[in-house]
Structure 1
Amino acid sequence: LGAGKTVVAVVAMLAAIQAGYQAALMAPTEVLAEQHYKKLVAWFNLLHLPVELLTGSTKVAKRREIHSQLETGELPVLVGTHALIQEAVNFHKLGLVVIDEQHRFGVQQRAKLQQKGESPHFLAMTATPIPRTLALTLHGDLDVSQIDELPPGRQPIQTTTLTGRQRKKAYDLIRREIVQGRQVYVVLPLVEESEKLDVKSAVEEHQKLAEKVFPEFKIGLLHGRMTSVEKDQTISAFRDNQTQILVSTTVVEVGVDVPNATVMLIENAERFGLSQLHQLRGRVGRGVHRSYCLLMRGAGSTDATERLKVLEQSQDGFFIAEMDMRLRGPGQVLGTKQSGLPDFALASLVEDQEVLELARGAAFRVMEKDESLNSWPLLRRELEWRYQKMMGGSILN
């Protein structure tokens, strides 16, 4: 969370370009892709290296220009969303693929981008701290590095769980921070009122805060149903301090970087997983000022108190992810079933780390002896069957 993943990607990209290859960076949302693009342009322009951005919103003429520059090799770096894996996108010599928040993409999508080059090097990045056992299972074929330090000058974020009765306390803190020139996020779980779950919709919350609670401040609204242009306008207005409060659904969890924001108020915090809450909390505390994360608990959610306590007590994403996995199970931690995560009949990712390490070691030794697996026909057959099942019928080569 602001710990310097982008810098690592840039160093790898420069190494690829220096060796005569092209590099591609794929991010899950347009907001995030654009943020990466702006950072890369600022750095690479100094080295006179062109960078382009390709997303669903890219105009047809611009898209054609990018396609042709990629094929001739005059464009060394391309940033984008899953628009990068469309058939029309052909690289001259792709040497490095970087995927950000890679668990947000399906196995096939990641493979498609890698197939655009001849065995390009692969760097996966995520701000989601993944427990070691889960990392071994998901990324068993990768070398995993963890950046577990914060940049110098960062202060720990003060995290507090509140109930509805203590709402005034939260609003007082928000008012105090804005008067001092800071900004605030208010995050909600759903976009529209669902009859089953009494969740405040972002639209209503925005109206309530703007009319009744903070009429003296400017308040922005960000949710998943908006077009990417509307989202960008809203985020830019917040980044430039034209709005002091940003009411948002979880669209904000990845990639929005506003160092001036010091308060994160999360409504119905019990509805989020711990890892997700930790990521949301990482949107504040990016500047030099003291920051606060307020976890607002919904009525009748007493069992959630234990879970939320973990966040009050720890700022360590890996510890939090480990606890999250113990409490909710591995499939839930990543928030996606398409992560290719196996269902084990007997093994437990929480308890069986040693066995997992042994299995991984054995797999590497097998591959060293015979990469084709011809010496182990049963193992080969099982692997081919599992691979096809996972990849929707693709043949393992």
Structure 2
Amino acid sequence: MQTLTAVERVTAALEFREPDRVPHFDLYWGAFSERWRRSRGLPTDPEREKLDHVDDPEINACYDVDLYVAIADESAWYSQAGLVRHEGAYEIRRDGWGRLVRVRPDARFYAELETPFAEKRALDRLVFDSPAADGRYTAFLHNLAQMRGQPCPPFILCKVGGPYLRSSFLRGEANWLMDMVEDPGFVDALAGRVADHLIAMGLESLRRGQLYETGIAIYDDIAGNRGLTMGPRLYRRFFVPQMARMVAAFRQAGARHIMFHSDGDIRAVLPDLVDIGIDAINPVEPRAHMDALTLRRQYDGRLALVGGLCNSAIIPSGTDEEVRQHVLRVLRAGEGGGLVIGSHTVGPDISQERYDYMMSLIRQYGRYPLRLPE
């Protein structure tokens, strides 16, 4: 088979056709990327080492990354985000969702000090910055131009958040979970307002990026390794209807593919997500019982898988044989298409040698037609 472009390759996989090879999608922590750059004598930047992930076309090209997610600033009040004050080694910042957070410049995590809706207020006074504001799309359009200017441009999805997590930013997670039991009407109203905003952001991102032929990803972390944060009954009650509205709006606008991202074990609501029109999921974490081969057999032809590899145990610390068997099992989920393989995020706990070994297996066994050893 002739070599395909990344757009052709990922499109074929998502539509359950066999491309030339199994497509690949990973994101790289700054610490991993900078270590890789040093190993090849490329220019480095100490500031990039602090980032959770970096857009590095050179490492993407080295490792055959076929998919890219372009992100506009969807936060409610993006124009008001900024530094409030210093407190010793900490910065007190107001983020775009109106939260007051305490951060250290040299740390990846933050402490949430205050949320804008910790006390309930009338939602008719809830006015977000306009989804059409040009400032939301400055970095988005820059990154699109950079990626499209590469010798082998990737398949690009735009991205929006989802109604569960983004609403929790406004209310605070504990309050939000309690609201589902104590005040269902308020949950419906707030999640609906947030979903309206996210729909507008998604439609504008599709339009400005001209990404209709590839599509959009909805990112909403709704689960942990043991299952859904709020349980499947409450998710179906409050959030499946909002997700259905979002998917319908994006489909009507012309989005060809709609991917759903959530860490954790989301098996309990996968039938609901498939029924409303989600056609791909990411990251498919094995440690959360999201086994790629099992899911492929269960949802064959209806749900493509983006991910599947274990970045928390097997790839970082498994033996060579354990890594080999793991990669082969995930590749088997790609027989007949339907798979974009990856480990989601590649952090500094994964050695260069181990990641290179993983990639060598994908390259050796990931060409179609797949010939996988038993």
Shorter-chain TM-score category? under 0.3
**Larger strand percent:** 2
